[in-house]
């Protein structure tokens, strides 16, 4: 019943916003027509593209993916690896950050990538075993909000309950001594939300990446970064729906 009431309230608010936006659009169009003196930029109904909501919105929606990508990119910039490997992170966010200051990025994803990106080498592969990468050959590697999806079929990968843990073991295998790993996954009360993702205890991730040593555990939560958080802080959070990201900076000693 409460859900239905909330939907009705939301619909009423939307209609009110649409009405205000339409009135503003008509007013703004009339003013523009009266003020414009450039014939090439004259109003033409044929090319009208009507937007009525943006005037009342924030300049940007800054969520946890933004903070996660920024967190890892800044650390990689500080460490300055010659080559960086990434497993399934956001191309239009994190990889874009890296490509602004690196010219040797290797991106691995089970899905195809048709676009060519300067400085980015891509190969389509199942990253659970990283079979194309030699032992202890990688100085810098990341997986930002990708491992939690492995083995659930959501992205066309084969069903495998152990896929994410196999991928973590593969990251440990390919990382050279002194190398850095940057991992982000949802953290909270540990459970599966099939087929969306897994939510991990932070301690599970740390244990699964041994013998890598934890250098930093921070959290992207409520559109900010909490730095150097106790690893058990979110263990009892059962309702975050995968929206709290644990940020793990690990080193192979």
Q: Is 60 exceeded by the pLDDT of residue 89? A: yes
| pTM given for the model | 0.87
Q: Is 90 exceeded by the pLDDT of residue 251? A: yes
Domain end position, chosen among 56, 74, 95? 56
Q: pLDDT band at residue 244, thresholds of 50, 70 and 90?
A: very high
155 & 194 share domain: yes
CA 167 remoteness from chain centre: 18
Tens digits of per-residue pLDDT, 48-85?
999 998 888 888 778 999 999 999 999 999 999 999 99
Structure confidence at residue 217 (pLDDT): 98
143 & 33 share domain: no
Q: pLDDT band at residue 239, thresholds of 50, 70 and 90?
A: confident
Tell me the β-bridge partners of 145: none
Q: pLDDT band at residue 37, thresholds of 50, 70 and 90?
A: very high
Per the structure, how many domains does the chain have?
2
Q: Is 80 exceeded by the pLDDT of residue 1? A: no
CATH number, domain with residue 180: 3.40.50.150
Q: What is the DSSP annotation of 86-107?
A: EES--IIIIIHHHHTT-S-EEE
* Contacting residues for 115 by C-beta, under 8 A, at least 6 apart: none
Domain end position, chosen among 12, 38, 56? 56
Structure confidence at residue 59 (pLDDT): 82
Q: Is 90 exceeded by the pLDDT of residue 2? A: no
Domain end position, chosen among 56, 73, 101? 56
145/229 Cα distance (integer angstroms):
18
**Mean pLDDT for the chain overall:** 94
Structure confidence at residue 114 (pLDDT): 92
Range of the domain at 9: 2-56
139 & 99 share domain: yes
44 & 70 share domain: no
Q: Is 90 exceeded by the pLDDT of residue 162? A: yes
């Amino acid at each position: 019943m409460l859900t239905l009431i909330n939907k009705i309230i939301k619909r009423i608010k939307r209609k009110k916003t649409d009405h205000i936006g339409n009135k503003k659009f008509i007013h703004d169009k009339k003013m523009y027509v009266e003020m414009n003196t450039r014939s090439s930029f004259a109003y033409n109904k044929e090319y009208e593209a009507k937007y009525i909501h943006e005037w009342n919105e924030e300049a940007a929606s800054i969520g946890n993916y933004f903070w996660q990508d920024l967190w890892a990119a800044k650390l990689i910039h500080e460490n300055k690896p010659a080559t960086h490997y990434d497993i399934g992170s956001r191309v239009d966010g994190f990889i874009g950050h890296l490509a602004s200051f690196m010219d040797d990025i290797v991106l691995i994803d089970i899905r195809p990538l048709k676009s060519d990106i300067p400085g980015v080498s891509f190969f389509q592969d199942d990253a659970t075993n990283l079979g194309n990468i030699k032992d202890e050959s990688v100085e810098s590697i990341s997986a930002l909000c990708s491992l939690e999806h492995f083995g659930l079929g959501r992205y066309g990968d084969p069903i495998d309950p152990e896929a994410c843990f196999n991928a973590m073991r593969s990251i440990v295998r390919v990382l050279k001594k002194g190398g850095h790993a940057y991992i982000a996954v949802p953290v909270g009360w540990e459970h599966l939300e099939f087929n969306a993702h897994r939510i991990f205890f932070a301690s599970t991730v740390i244990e699964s990446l041994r013998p890598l040593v934890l250098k930093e555990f921070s959290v992207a939560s409520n559109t900010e970064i909490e730095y150097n958080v106790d690893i058990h802080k979110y263990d009892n959070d059962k309702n975050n729906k995968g929206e709290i990201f644990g940020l793990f900076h690990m080193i192979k000693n």
